[in-house]
Chain A
Amino acid sequence: MKIKATVQNNVTSVKMLIPHSMETGRRKEKDGSVVPAHFITEVTATCGNDTVFHAELGPGVSKDPYLSFQFDGAKAGDVLKVSWVDNKGGSETGEAAITAM
């Protein structure tokens, strides 16, 4: 996953792009078989000891989810950790150092 976090005036802006098929469970192959649902259910971001972001996603989120949010109180050099889990037990954790804008 790609994470970009920049801080300006005490506000950190985070953008992330998570490669994931986000199958809805309603799409059919050409032979008529249904592609099973496979999508990210939760995304969490932490900075220091605080959870600064928590989202629940459903299959209505586009393929390769892009998410952005803002939070207070971090400074350049702090590390932002992002992790996600999907409905099949898959998961990934990534991190990025926050940079000054």
Chain B
Amino acid sequence: MGISRRNFCKTVAGSAASVAVLAMMPGNLMAKWSDKAFTANDLAAAIAAKYGSLPIEDSTAIEIKAPEIAENGAFVPVTVSSTIPGVTSISIFTPANFSPLVASFDVLPRMKPDVSLRIRMAKTANLVVIAQAGGKLYRVTREVKVTIGGCGG
């Protein structure tokens, strides 16, 4: 079969469209950066901005690994894991900071609900971790004592 001009144009247009769709996908699949949740300056407002008004219950199925005493609040190592089935999102908050939401992770289908990072804490305060599963939020709270605050200027 020869390539007619019409078919050639169709093919080119088709692949260009697929490329455009692929290039757009990450943006469409991923929620935009939750600016309202990250700029909220109290804990309840930050949780509400991130998760809406879903019911929250305390859970023992979320584990926070963090030092009891952090000597340097600029680098507090935190590991969060959960055994709650069907978790789709995990967020770390601390009322120590001017903006309590520190980071939020989408738990995608291939990903384990187990993440580590280093965070800033301005002073001794709780770490509050919220995990979403279905239409419910699960919360665990843990205090970290901070010797030298990490947000000084």
Stretch at the interface among B13-21, B26-34, B131-139, B140-148: B26-34
Size of chain A's interface in residues, with CB distance under 8 A?
Answer: 33
Residue A24, interface by CB 8 Å: yes
A40 to B150, CA, bound (A): 18
Which residue of chain B has its CB nearest to the CB of A59?
B99
Which residue of chain A has its CB nearest to the CB of B118?
A62
Partner of A62, one of B30, B38, B110, B150: B150
Contact call B38/A56, Cβ cutoff below 8 A = yes
Min CB distance A65 to B, Å, is 7
Contact call A61/B118, Cβ cutoff below 8 A = yes
A10 to B97, CA, bound (A): 38
Give every chain A residue within 8 A of B151 (Cβ-Cβ): 24, 26-27
A67 to B26, CA, bound (A): 20
Known A28-B153, A41-B33; contact A68-B108, beta-carbon cutoff 8 A = no
Chain A contact surface mostly: strand
A28 to B150, CA, bound (A): 13
Partner of B34, one of A26, A54, A56, A60: A56
Cross-chain pair count, CB within 8 angstroms: 110
Contact call A60/B116, Cβ cutoff below 8 A = no
Known A54-B30, A60-B99, A60-B101; contact A66-B108, beta-carbon cutoff 8 A = no
Partner of B153, one of A26, A51, A60, A65: A26
B85-104 Cβ-contact flags toward A at 8 Å (1 or 0): 00000000010011111111
Give every chain A residue within 8 A of B42 (Cβ-Cβ): none
Known A44-B30, A54-B106, A56-B38; contact A11-B153, beta-carbon cutoff 8 A = no
B1-45 Cβ-contact flags toward A at 8 Å (1 or 0): 000000000000000000000000010011101100010000000
Min CB distance A89 to B, Å, is 12
Partner of B101, one of A51, A58, A68: A58
Residue B115, interface by CB 8 Å: yes
Interface CB pairs A-B, < 8 A, 27:
A11-B112, A41-B33, A53-B105, A54-B30, A54-B106, A55-B104, A55-B105, A55-B115, A56-B103, A56-B104, A58-B99, A60-B101, A60-B103, A61-B102, A61-B103, A61-B119, A62-B74, A62-B119, A62-B120, A65-B118, A66-B116, A67-B117, A69-B115, A70-B114, A71-B110, A71-B111, A72-B111
